[in-house]
Amino acid sequence: MSVRLHRRGEDFYQRRSAIGLYGTRGPKRPAVRYLYPMLKKISSAPSYNGPVVQIILDGVGISPRVEGNAVAQANKPILDRLLRDYPYLELCAHGKAVGLPSDEDMGNSEVGHNAIGSGQVVDQGAMLVNQAIESGKIYERDAWKEIAGNVRDHKSTLHFLGLFSDGNVHSHINHLKALILRAKQENLGTVRVHILLDGRDVGETSALDYVLPFEKFLADIRSPEFDVKIASGGGRMKLTMDRYEADWGMVQRGWKIHVHGEGRHFASAAEAIETFRGEAKVIDQDLPGFVVAENGMPVGPIRDHDSVVFFNFRGDRAIEISRAFEDLDFKYFDRNSASGVHAPKVLYAGMLEYDGDLHIPARYLVSPPEIRNTMGEAFSESGITQLAISETQKYGHVTYFWNGNRSNKFDGETWIEIPSDRVSFDERPWMKAAEITDALIAELRTGTHRAARVNYANGDMVGHTGSLRAATMAMEAVDLCLARLLPVIDQLGGMAVITADHGNADEMFEIDKKSGLPSKNKDGSFKAKTSHTLNPVPCIFYDNTHKGKYSLAGTPKPGLANLAATTANLLGFEAPDYWHSSLIKY
């Protein structure tokens, strides 16, 4: 089994980054330490000989609906027993409870792990960008002034690249529209848009619902002095938006399409979508790349002196394309064109800073949230050794996002990464759950870690494929792992808090808003849902060591941010007042 182990005191980023940056970048950094006060012990709290383990069942929500619910339909005797026989409550994992603009906004793994790891609710990417645009501050920052000034000085093109939907997880189409309107207001004569089709955070075949109105929007603002067009695109899981360096080939495909215009030509994005749907028979996220061309020539390749804005606000799938534009010593693929055109020298900006430790990208339009006083910091300062483990797909979530968007470990942390397979997860819905469990059990038995956190990615990553059968199998695979893991926690005299970061596998069919029933396609089949849900997530206290020594506190409107204080209490410490209150009481 391949395992990447990173213990305390190592500079992890000299080996492999939690959010997809491999190799070295910048000077070696020591383990992170912030001098926050040590946590105070609770004299009346029972002491565990073994670890307190936080188990994140990624993408596992709770819904009363059985139809289309892979969680409910799965053969999962262990989870069913836990829900029946142990203290249990439901947590809010979406909307304002995790720092998003409204309660209509689905949660996601990044904001969910931020909330769990920090014990706080902070304004997140979408909210920050909304505020910056509404106030106009985004245009007052040096980044926008430099991007716009570069286009004016060189009479060049301004390019916008990013996820093209209103899913509000990675991006929002309204942000793109606002930036385009500002470009026209500032007399930036040529704008090109490179669209990554969603079908994951929104309906699986909804691309034309965005493209057609957007083309009308462009037509309404286009003029002889303002030339604006869609230039290229493709499915988000086919090109450009790789994460955690799982597949640099995705980024390379996007680079060829967006930068060099090397791809199949179409007269419009709509024509490309309709053609590929007929030929490839795939949903939007998997549509091949395309180039919009006129008179046999791409309308918007990226050239020297152009400006490029990646308008996603979420960081994980923005890192690698940012490096491709910025890194002088880039080595992951040849950035020159097939005909020998060199990689263009451009002025590049992200919507936000995607990595605050490594400062990627160097230029960004909106400052990201600064999250301090996290659980990892407080536990480190209090001498609590910590273990974080997951496979590649969610590794950054139990490390980088958990620690408040920081790349480096705190003193006393051990990070273990199990490399994910490069396959479609509906083909292997078990993913790396068994290997994660093997490594976790081995580490827990060393007695080194007082606190541990593990993410099983199956419910989310398989849920995103839209395959109900595969998602059901994913849940069953995780249940088998719980059957192996929980007895070990008992043997060691520990306990586990079993929860999730958001829903997904609990709702695998689109729901008709009027009827409340699963939506159907024209052929009578159910319409697959590939996005997260608004359902609450479980929180189970698996404790056979001190069962009955504490009770649920009756916390009003409990959410993910309540878990930090809860974990501190279970470890025998008072929670600081800057965390949301604990879910338990002694």
CA dihedral sign, ordered 30, 31, 36, 37: negative
What does the pLDDT read at residue 27? 29
DSSP string, 174-218: HHHHHHHHHHHHTT--EEEEEEEE-SSSS-TT-HHHHHHHHHHHH
**What are the residue ranges spanned by the domains of the chain?**
4-15+52-123+370-585, 126-366
Q: Which of 2, 44, 63, 109 is catalytic?
A: 109
Residue whose C-alpha is closest to residue 374's, from 338, 331, 349, 410 = 410
Tokens of 551: 């009770």
CA 429 – CA 212 distance, rounded (Å): 35
How is residue 9 written in tokens?
A: 């005191």
Report how far Cα 397 is from the mean position of its chain's Cα atoms.
8
CATH among 3.40.50.1240, 3.40.50.300, 3.40.50.720, 3.40.720.10 for 4-15+52-123+370-585: 3.40.720.10
The fold adopted by the segment(s) 126-366 is 3.40.1450
* Tokens encoding 8: 């305390």
Residue 355 tokens read as 């990595």
Does residue 361 have a cis peptide bond before it, meaning omega lies within 30 degrees of 0? yes
pLDDT at 25: 25
Can you give the pTM of this predicted structure?
0.74
Backbone phi, then psi, for 117, in 5-degree steps?
-70, -25
SS (H, E, C) 455-498: EECHHHHCHHHCCHHHHHHHHHHHHHHHHHHHHHHHHCCCEEEE
Q: Which of 269, 132, 257 is nearest to 213 (CA)?
A: 269
Task: Give Cα separations from 383 to 5, 39, 540, 560 (angstroms).
Answer: 21, 10, 26, 24
Q: How far is CA 418 from the centre of its chain?
A: 18
CA quadruple 109, 399, 58, 202: dihedral, nearest 10: 20
Burial 493-513 (b: 16+ CB within 10 A, else e): ebbbbbbbbbbbbbbbbbbee
Structure tokens at 68: 């289309």
For residue 428, the 8-state DSSP code is S
Place of tokens 């939907």: 165
Helices (H) and strands (E) in the chain, counts: 16, 19
As a whole number of angstroms, the distance between CA 208 and CA 146 comes to 33
Cα-Cα end-to-end distance for the chain = 42
In the beta sheet, which residues pair with residue 537? 91
Q: How far apart are CA 544 and CA 29, in angstroms?
A: 41
Report the chain's C-alpha Rg in angstroms. Answer: 24
Task: For residues 375 and 562, give the distance between their C-alpha atoms in angstroms, rounded to a whole number.
Answer: 11
DSSP 3-state assignment of 159? strand
Give the pLDDT confidence score for residue 356 in this predicted structure. 57
Distance of CA 385 to the CA centre of its chain: 26
Smallest CA-to-CA distance from 183 within 152, 153, 217 is with 152
Q: Give the 3-state secondary structure of 207-254.
A: HHHHHHHHHHHHHHHCECCEEEEEEEEEECCCCCCCCCCCCHHHHHHH
From first to last of the 586 residues of the chain, give the pLDDT tens digit.
667 665 543 332 222 333 222 222 222 333 444 445 689 999 888 999 999 999 999 999 999 999 999 999 999 999 999 999 999 999 999 999 999 878 888 898 989 999 999 999 998 888 899 999 999 999 999 999 999 999 999 999 999 999 999 999 899 999 999 999 999 999 999 999 999 999 999 999 999 999 999 999 999 999 999 999 999 999 999 999 998 788 999 999 999 999 999 999 999 999 999 999 999 889 999 999 999 999 999 999 999 999 999 999 988 899 999 999 999 899 999 999 988 899 999 999 999 988 655 678 999 999 867 789 999 999 999 999 999 999 999 999 999 999 998 888 999 999 999 999 988 899 999 999 999 999 999 999 999 999 999 999 999 999 999 999 999 999 999 999 999 999 999 999 999 999 999 999 999 998 887 888 888 888 889 989 988 999 999 999 999 999 889 999 999 999 999 999 999 999 999 999 999 999 999 9
Give the number of C-alpha atoms closer than 13 A to the C-alpha of residue 405, restricted to the C-beta side: 24
Residue 125 φ/ψ, nearest 5 degrees: -45, -55
Of 276, 272, 234, whose CA–CA distance to 255 is shortest? 234
**Residue 382 annotated among the catalytic residues of the structure:** no
Q: Select from 123, 18, 54 the least CA-distant residue to 406.
A: 18
Domains 4-15+52-123+370-585 and 126-366 share a fold: no
Per-residue model confidence (pLDDT) at position 2: 65
Residues near 81 by Cβ (< 8 Å), separated by ≥ 6? none
CA angle (353 as vertex; 349, 355 as ends), nearest 5: 125
